[in-house]
């Protein structure tokens, strides 16, 4: 090495040492005492910790190996901790530290289109996640005076719901039914129908199989819905603590957008798994069991979650958070503990019948047991004019159909009523992944109400619907009025009737 280079290097080192000496002059290290706890025992999803004398309720605790836990049970002898990640590596005697903060989750625009777990860790292959801020998992629901009436419809694209059980933005509508009756299918169609509406969607999968969640994500990507959807997922083999915090995490992420004045839809699939995870944690932590072994505060954990769904006043941005919780019933028992709790919390329910599902009537919505306590006020004017009496007449048809099975002789008027009812039922059928606009739904419902389908065989009704869907695009001014929620005039109905007649006339000849 040349001599000049060696001397210059010595000079640099000498100057660095002098700067370090000057920086250390007068420095006195400050000692911060820290309380350290110890793991007494570790179980399935929980830990028992002692020594943390100043821990607070719901405080986040740090375990070795970047493990996290939530202080759940606090007494003088030990703390019951819910584990929020991997805990198999922990042993009795390991050190535990209090973090002095509550559990929080990342929020921000970059969450849109991503798949994450409740802690905000990515579960897709799109790289790391950059977020705007972190917000507490548990947040108080908006005050009553901060809420505005639900006035805007949330269109699902499904005729049976939009016409008979309408949902408004800011409403909480429960979807319940036995397993494999199409509950998730309804919510996926609803997400797909929000394209170009400005509604952001959050799909929270709680304890679902990885293959099921992957299929849902693939369906959303296929129909371009992942562009405005965030998936929060917890697998079935994840710790019960993660299942418990999942819906709260999804709600906190969604509230960020609601408070910015946007409309958000959150789907909890499903809260049965959430309730079971909370029951498992409560029993492991020796909390007193109640009805069906659920703890006494099982109602509260769901009410404090769903009360966060609302429509905010214009002064606060006017955003809304619509909740569609899903519950799985057993043997069609909607009067079980968890279903009745959620029915009393929500603003209505959509009940899916396994009997209708087995008959191929899809979506298998039992109109008689389903209700919307708020959405009717948000319904578009055209629905009120066309489908106002449809719910009552359809319920009467179902009752008459059940009664007619006991006899063979029916008068002409009864036979006509049954024929019309069967066509209404056929019209309310809808294939998955084919949501319809309001105008496409209205012209079909109008045609069946006017009896234009009476001369068409039931097996050709679907073909007739397709003709009407095409025909409605010929009357764009009426379609725009329907989608805008304006009242249709008598002249508009005449044009619609004539358009529907011409569209179905060729089908009658066939």
Tens-place pLDDT, residues 361-370: 999 999 989 9
Summarize pLDDT for 423-477 with one digit per residue, the tens: 999 999 999 999 999 999 999 999 999 999 998 988 899 999 999 999 999 999 9
The pLDDT confidence band at residue 5, using thresholds 50, 70 and 90, is low
Q: Using CA atoms, how far apart are residues 161 and 174, in angstroms rounded to an integer? A: 12
Hey, which residues does 82 pair with through a beta bridge? Answer: 46, 70
Mean pLDDT of 410-431: 90
**Structure tokens, 134:** 């972190």
Mean pLDDT of 171-178: 97
Q: In the predicted model, what is the mean pLDDT of the chain?
A: 92
The residue among 388 and 24 whose pLDDT is bigger is 388
DSSP 345: H
What pLDDT score was predicted for residue 472? 93
pTM score, whole prediction: 0.92
Neighbouring CB atoms inside 10 A of 1's CB total: 6
Please, what CATH class does the domain formed by 105-378 belong to? alpha beta
Which one from 101, 130, 209, 373 is the annotated catalytic residue? 373
- Please say if the pLDDT value at position 411 is more than 90: no
What pLDDT score was predicted for residue 29? 75
Please, what CATH class does the domain formed by 36-101 belong to? mainly beta
Share of the chain above pLDDT 70, in %: 98
What pLDDT score was predicted for residue 497? 95
What pLDDT score was predicted for residue 28? 74
Mean pLDDT of 29-42: 87
What pLDDT score was predicted for residue 1? 44
What pLDDT score was predicted for residue 84? 93
**Taking a C-beta distance cutoff of 8 angstroms, is the pair 338, 327 a contact?**
yes
- The answer to whether residue 286 is catalytic is no
The pLDDT confidence band at residue 412, using thresholds 50, 70 and 90, is confident
What pLDDT score was predicted for residue 508? 63
What residue spans define the domains of the chain? 36-101, 105-378, 384-509
For residue 51, what are the contacts with CB-CB under 8 A and spacing of at least 6?
A: 35, 36, 37, 38, 96
Measure Cα distances from 189 to 71, 124, 174, 213, 221 in Å: 39, 22, 16, 15, 13
CATH classification number, 384-509, choose in 1.20.150.20, 3.40.50.720, 3.40.1390.30, 3.40.640.10: 1.20.150.20
Mean pLDDT of 333-360: 96
Summarize pLDDT for 180-209 with one digit per residue, the tens: 999 999 999 999 999 999 999 999 999 999
| Phi, psi (deg, nearest 5) at residue 259 | -70, -10
């Amino acid at each position: 090495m040349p001599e000049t280079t060696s001397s210059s290097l010595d000079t640099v080192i000498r100057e660095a040492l002098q700067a370090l000496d000057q920086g250390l002059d007068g420095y006195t290290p400050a000692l911060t005492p820290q309380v350290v706890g110890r793991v007494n025992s570790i179980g399935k999803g929980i830990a028992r910790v002692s020594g943390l004398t100043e821990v607070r309720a719901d405080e986040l605790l740090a375990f070795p190996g970047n493990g996290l836990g939530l202080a759940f049970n606090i007494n003088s002898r030990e703390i019951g901790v819910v584990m929020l990640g991997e805990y198999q590596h922990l042993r009795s005697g390991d050190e535990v530290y209090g973090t002095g903060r509550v559990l929080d989750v990342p929020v921000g625009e970059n969450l849109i289109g991503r798949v994450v777990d409740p802690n905000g860790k990515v579960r897709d292959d799109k790289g790391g996640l950059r977020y705007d801020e972190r917000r507490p998992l548990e947040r108080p629901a908006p005050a009553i005076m901060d809420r505005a009436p639900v006035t805007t419809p949330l269109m699902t694209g499904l005729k049976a719901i939009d016409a008979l059980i309408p949902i408004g933005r800011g409403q909480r509508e429960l979807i319940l039914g036995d397993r494999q009756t199409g509950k998730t299918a309804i919510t996926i169609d609803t997400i797909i129908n929000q394209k170009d509406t400005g509604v952001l969607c959050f799909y929270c999968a709680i304890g679902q199989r990885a293959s099921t969640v992957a299929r849902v994500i693939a369906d959303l990507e296929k129909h371009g819905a992942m562009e405005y959807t965030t998936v929060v997922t917890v697998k079935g083999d994840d710790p019960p603590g993660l299942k418990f915090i999942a819906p709260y995490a999804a709600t906190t992420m969604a509230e960020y957008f609601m408070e910015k004045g946007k409309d958000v839809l959150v789907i909890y699939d499903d809260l049965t798994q959430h309730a079971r995870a909370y029951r498992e944690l409560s029993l492991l932590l020796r909390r007193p069991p109640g009805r069906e072994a659920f703890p006494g505060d099982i109602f509260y954990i769901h009410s404090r979650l769903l009360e966060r769904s609302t429509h905010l006043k214009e002064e606060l941005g006017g955003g809304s958070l619509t909740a569609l919780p899903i519950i799985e019933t057993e043997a069609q028992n909607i009067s079980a503990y968890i279903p009745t709790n959620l029915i009393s919390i929500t603003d209505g329910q959509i009940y899916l019948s396994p009997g209708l599902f087995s008959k191929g009537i899809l979506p298998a919505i039992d109109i008689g047991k389903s209700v919307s306590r708020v959405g009717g006020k948000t319904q578009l004017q055209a629905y009120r004019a066309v489908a106002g009496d449809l719910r009552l007449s359809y319920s009467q048809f179902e009752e008459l159909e059940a009664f007619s099975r006991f006899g063979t002789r029916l008068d002409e008027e009864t036979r006509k009523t049954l024929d019309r009812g069967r066509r209404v039922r056929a019209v309310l059928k809808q294939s998955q992944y084919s949501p319809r606009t309001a105008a496409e739904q209205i012209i079909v419902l109008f045609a069946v109400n006017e009896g234009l389908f009476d001369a068409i065989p039931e097996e050709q009704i679907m073909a007739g619907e397709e003709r009407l869907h095409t025909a409605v695009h010929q009357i764009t001014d009426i379609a725009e009025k329907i989608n805008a929620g304006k009242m249709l005039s008598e002249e508009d109905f005449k044009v619609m009737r004539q358009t529907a007649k011409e569209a179905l006339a060729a089908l009658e000849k066939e």
